[in-house]
Amino acid sequence: MEYFEIAEKMEKIRNSGKKIVFTNGCFDILHAGHVDYLRKASDLGDYFVIGLNSDTSVKKLKGKNRPINNEIARKLVLEGIKGVDEVILFDEDTPYELIDAVFPHILVKGGDYTPKNIVGRDIVEKYGGRVEVIPFLEGYSTSDIIAKIRGEI
């Protein structure tokens, strides 16, 4: 789906009175921490959109051995989580253009971010939206899971 098509669809959802929530990430090996985070984000509004880094984008961010799961598998798993209304793949290094198309009421990121360094904050706040940071569920990390599988921890 092109960004202009996404923008048109989101405008219809917004005009129906629904509050749009957006987050993004790689979600490579989905674990309990992700599910907890996504459920909490979903609870903030009426229509929950996830921007999912494409395989190409994940490789740029995480290195040549990532992702572990391809974008089709990651998208399918995310779409199966209660409260997730839509998952949209993006190829760029950041979801800035996608956020501009979705134009959410609430932009959400995990506890390793501060509102100041969240990509797209300017878009959302410009028109009265807000940014939320949801603390991570302790003890869950994709990098730690990979290290454990490799016998490194």
Q: What is the C-alpha to C-alpha distance for residues 25 and 113, in angstroms, rounded to an integer?
A: 12
143 confidence band (pLDDT: 50, 70, 90): confident
1 confidence band (pLDDT: 50, 70, 90): confident
Domain 3-149's class?
A: alpha beta
User: What b-and-e string marks burial along 77-105, b requiring 16 or more CB atoms within 10 Å of the CB?
Assistant: bbeebeebbbbbbbeeeebbbbbebbbbb
> For the chain, what are the domain ranges?
3-149
Phi, psi (degrees; rounded to nearest 5) at 49: -115, 135
pLDDT (average), residues 79-106: 97
12 confidence band (pLDDT: 50, 70, 90): very high
What's the whole-number average pLDDT of the chain?
93
Whether 144 has a pLDDT exceeding 80, the answer reads no
User: Contacts from 36-44 at CB under 8 Å and sequence distance 24+?
Assistant: 36/137, 37/110, 37/134, 37/136, 37/137, 38/78, 38/81, 38/83, 38/84, 39/81, 39/82, 39/83, 40/134, 41/108, 41/132, 41/134, 42/82, 42/83, 42/84, 43/83, 44/19, 44/106, 44/108, 44/132
